[in-house]
Amino acid sequence: MSKLHAVITGVGGYVPDYVLTNDELSTMVDTNDEWIMTRIGVKERRILKEEGLGSCYMAKKAVAQLMEKTGVDASTVDGVICATCTPDYHYPSNATQIVEAMHMTKAFAYDLEAACCGFIYAMDTAACMIESGRYQRIVVVGAEKTSSFVDYTDRATCPIFGDGSGAVLVEATEEDLGWQDSILRTDGSGFQYLHLPAGGSVNVPTHATIDNKMHFIHQEGRTVFKYAVNNMSKLTAQIAERNGLNKDNLDWIIPHQANVRIIQAVANTLEMPMEKVLVNIQRYGNTSAASLPLALWDFEKNLKKGDKIILTAFGAGFVFGSAYLKWAYDTKD
């Protein structure tokens, strides 16, 4: 029997209508467009402002678009893995709500939390399931409402983050396409530099945790920047080397959209020209686990069957990873 490969056969996405520009942000905190663009590279970000809606609302929108584009019968989907660190609830998972809304009557469902690296972790999990032969069709989602945990009086963090969701359909094939290789790593010593201090079982919500702004993202930006550059660059170089990839035969690098300077540093590792690096941070900011699938959604028409692509990401934990895939289809106009 030929080896099974896990291939992405479709992409869906959703971003909220509301656009928070740098100019508007500068009326809220002491910042300006030039500073944000130079240091981070974000021009605007999308914010889900409607009351009573969370990351799962956007996830369901992205998956609905995915199902419509691919024409797949929902009853044939074997599972849904939703990568998120901003779920609607601690439980049940976003994925269970997606399955219910999409009428996926035989699908398993769970959320996976690996911060900004969540999509790569979820894709690797789905790929292993597909390659085992036990599952044929899995939906992988990245969905985040980071704005719920951003302190819009903190000029260091509030320009960075945005909301959105992307989803992909992963299926089995015997063609030499799809998910080829991955390297996943963790450095738990990074906890103190990037975390959400309260809201879990250690620091439950109290007047004190609210008054002390412990339900907002805590990030020590310079330290996180150094770790991200070092580890994303290192893993990108490693996965390229062990798969015989270089600037001449690699078609695209798709990095987590956290900071344009991190993205440039990763590209420099392989001496890749920036026109072969897919970047949309200027439009959406850092959407955490939604970052990579939103990039696939944005640039789907640029991708051709057989294109060699490296994905790479870094997030709280610290968790980081790189993956190599061969794109499986040409986009129809």
Residue 332: the pLDDT is 77
AA letter at 209: T
Active-site entry in 94, 158, 256, 259: 256
Averaged pLDDT for residues 322-330: 98
Q: Could you tell me the pLDDT band of residue 294, with boundaries at 50, 70 and 90?
A: very high
Q: Give yes or no: 268 in active site.
A: no
331 falls in which pLDDT band (50, 70, 90)?
confident
Every domain of the chain with CATH number 3.40.47.10 lies at 5-176, 180-326
Burial grade of 209 (CB within 10 A; 0-12, 13-18, 19 or more): middle
Calculate what percentage of the chain has a pLDDT beyond 70: 99
**Residue found under tokens 């983050």:** 161
Q: Is the pLDDT of residue 64 over 60?
A: yes
From CA 42, how far away is CA 26, in angstroms rounded? 13
pLDDT average, residue stretch 261-279: 96
pLDDT score, position 2: 77
Q: How far is Cα 206 from Cα 198, in angstroms, rounded to an integer?
A: 9
Query: Is a pLDDT exceeding 90 seen at residue 1?
Result: no
Calculate the average pLDDT of the chain: 97
Q: State pTM to two decimals.
A: 0.97
| pLDDT of 58 strictly over 80 | yes
By the 8 A CB rule, do 151 and 91 touch?
no
The domain 180-326 is classified under which CATH number: 3.40.47.10, 2.60.200.20, 3.40.50.720, 3.30.70.100? 3.40.47.10
> Within 13 Å, how many C-alpha atoms sit on residue 120's CB side?
32
Q: Is 83 exposed, middle or buried (0-12, 13-18, 19+ CB in 10 A)?
A: buried
Residue 230: band (very low, low, confident or very high) from pLDDT cuts 50, 70, 90? very high
Catalytic position from the list 56, 82, 85, 116:
116
Find the mean pLDDT for residues 313-323: 97
195 is catalytic: no
Q: Can 56 be counted among the known catalytic residues?
A: no
Residue 210: helix, strand or coil by DSSP?
helix
Could you give the angle at which helices 291-298 and 118-131 cross, rounded to 10 degrees?
Answer: 80
Given CATH 2.60.260.20, say whether it is the number of domain 5-176.
no
Q: Which residue would you say has higher pLDDT here, 1 or 80?
A: 80
Tokens of residue 300, six digits: 């789907």
12: nearest Cα among 86, 53, 69: 69
pLDDT above 70 (res 333)? no
pLDDT in tens, 170-196: 999 999 999 999 999 999 999 999 999
Looking at residues 149-158, what average pLDDT do you find?
96
Contact between residue 285 and residue 257 where contact means Cβ atoms under 8 Å apart = yes
